[in-house]
């Protein structure tokens, strides 16, 4: 299994990919969610769920920021979250660190801190 990192920083205007992988019998079903809804249902511009556990942002824009949930449906149901931050290279850099704990598919608790990088 491969899970996305707990936090991710993508550069504004770039191509960025989040990966969530699993194997087994029966074949696990992998879905990506944001704000409680499947990513594909939201019609987010320039976001493509490749259907193999990979989520591609091309090009990355500020509306892509948020907490993404990778759900792996298998006999042992697993959920992993990642917080995606978008960084504009033309402005001062800021590090955003978030820790999220999910109790259920739609119940996550996150704590984030933001620090300027010098």
* Sheet with strand 37-38: strands edge to edge: 7-11, 78-87, 66-73, 29-34, 37-38
Q: How many separate domains does the chain show?
A: 1
Of 15-29, 55-69, 95-109, the range with the lowest mean pLDDT is 95-109
Domain that holds residue 41: 7-116
- Residue 58 in this model has a pLDDT that exceeds 80: yes
Q: What is the mean pLDDT of the chain?
A: 80
Looking at the domain assignment, is residue 90 inside a domain?
A: yes
Mean pLDDT in residue range 25-31: 84
57 neighbors 10 (Cβ within 8 angstroms): yes
118 pLDDT more than 60: no
pTM of the model: 0.70
- The answer as to whether 1 is a domain residue is no
Banded pLDDT at 93 (limits 50, 70, 90): low
- Quick check: is 2 in a domain? no
Read off the CATH number of the domain in which 14 is found: 2.60.40.10
pLDDT for residue 80 is more than 70: yes
**pLDDT value, residue 94:** 64
Q: What is the average pLDDT across 56-77?
A: 86
């Amino acid at each position: 299994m491969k899970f996305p990192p707990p936090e991710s920083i993508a550069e504004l205007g770039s191509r960025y990919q989040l990966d969530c992988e699993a194997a087994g019998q029966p074949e696990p079903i992998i879905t990506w969610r944001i704000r409680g809804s499947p990513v594909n249902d939201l019609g987010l511009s320039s976001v493509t769920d490749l259907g193999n556990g990979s989520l591609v942002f091309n090009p990355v824009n500020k509306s892509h920021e948020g907490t993404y949930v990778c759900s792996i449906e298998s006999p042992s149901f697993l959920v992993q979250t990642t917080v995606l931050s978008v960084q504009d290279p033309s402005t001062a850099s800021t590090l955003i660190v978030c820790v999220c704990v999910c109790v259920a598919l739609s119940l996550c608790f996150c704590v984030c801190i933001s620090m300027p990088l010098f």
